[in-house]
Structure 1
């Protein structure tokens, strides 16, 4: 049975379902603000865009503060490709800015308040059911895989043998963010002994994967092949890279779509401990 999609590929770009829901909610807020603002001759679009940018900035700053030691320079701090944001931090900062705007601009209170309420309702009505589905538990799929030596295996077999939480990275050699994050995984696999890492290549043959590992001088354990990309279908991961975090009981507890840095990997691992 195919799982609910966790990400959607649009050409060379990919979006997580969470990102799409935020875009939807923001669009609803803009529409509601425009309709109510037109009636009261008070535009809200600029304020809403400022709110979004400030909330994103706050979420990033809080995340960086939490995982400061995982960054090695200014450039890595500014690299947003790792998706390193603290949702609660962004929510607090955004609510603070919205409260200040409502207090300072009495004319905007009704249209801005209506826009924010419409956006929150849109997000809650869509994200809520998805969250309930996630909380019902999603066990390790038993999708047939093969090792680089050609032996058949699957993730439950690996998890049973290791008896530890399992991090599963879906990747391909043609995927630039997959290539960039591999050294992060290599370091983590060598340094962290209480977590098992598995790297499930999607749709490529063993010679291509081995050539890539040799060219990049990567020393990785548990590199597996999924020739028919069945694992992506089963887990709902429609874009690469996707990293799945399973606890010691084999239940999915977290999913990260997109490139991982040391900081975002550390965030994901915290939920396994």
Structure 2
């Protein structure tokens, strides 16, 4: 598991106000990038998970001490390298459901993003650049963690990305990788197994290095 630099991550999985998904936390490196520039208080997770509430408490303590809280992608017990992700489903924007099995046979890069996450938005042009450079050696799939599919569609239109993008409304794929940060990028083998995850934003050079190290793809944009 790779960990981002201190300013790279903008969220931890503390639960949306409606009780689902990654909860937004202001990225102070982008003044005004979050909707009102303020961190939003997390609501309790109705599914009864202790882990998100514990992480929320840690974040509050660190913030009070003036220490930068670095969100990290942590693999849940049993969700390490080799976890089979092939049967996980997501919603396609062109209609119907997709599964990661649809991409079997080719290495897959899955990027978890949200329109309210400034680092997510910043890295999307870099992902597009690497997607074009690798030219089919690796398949890219962006999965929105937004509360609505329309928010993701608007972002895709604004950034101009052309790789596959879908919606992960129940966080099925996101949670299967054990991620608690936004953005997070996961590498999946041609047989549908989890290879590695990276928490935080990636520029084109760092993304290529991550792909080369994890999937053995030799390419430099």
| Range of TM-score over shorter length | 0.5 to 0.7
Residue of structure 2 aligned with 1:186, choices 107, 112, 128: 128
TM-score in terms of structure 2 length: 0.59
Describe how 1:225-236 pairs up with structure 2 within 5 A.
Answer: 225-236=167-178
CA distance in 2: counterparts of 1:253 and 1:272, whole angstroms: 8
User: Which residue of structure 1 aligns with residue 93 of structure 2?
Assistant: 148
CA RMSD of aligned residues (A): 3.0
Residue of structure 2 aligned with 1:222, choices 164, 168, 184: 164
Structure number with the bigger relative contact order (C-alpha 8 A, sep ≥ 6) is 2
Residue of structure 1 aligned with 2:141, choices 193, 198, 202: 198
CA deviation after TM superposition for structure 1 residue 132, in Å: 9.6
Kept in 2, the 8 Å contact 1:241–1:259? The answer is yes
Kept in 2, the 8 Å contact 1:204–1:225? The answer is no
CA distance in 1: counterparts of 2:12 and 2:86, whole angstroms: 20
2:21 aligned with 1:12, yes or no? no
CA distance 1:242–1:220, change in 2 (3 Å): same
Larger Rg: 1
User: Which residue of structure 2 aligns with residue 134 of structure 1?
Assistant: 80
Unmatched segments (≥5 aa) in structure 2: 1-10, 15-23, 28-54, 56-69, 217-221
User: Which residue of structure 1 aligns with residue 219 of structure 2?
Assistant: none
Kept in 2, the 8 Å contact 1:144–1:153? The answer is yes
Residue of structure 1 aligned with 2:200, choices 244, 247, 258: 258
Kept in 2, the 8 Å contact 1:141–1:231? The answer is no
The structure carrying a bigger helix percent of its residues is 1
Task: State how many pairs are aligned.
Answer: 151
User: Which residue of structure 2 aligns with residue 248 of structure 1?
Assistant: 190
TM-score in terms of structure 1 length: 0.49
Secondary structure class of the residue paired with 2:144? strand
CA distance 1:132–1:138, change in 2 (3 Å): closer
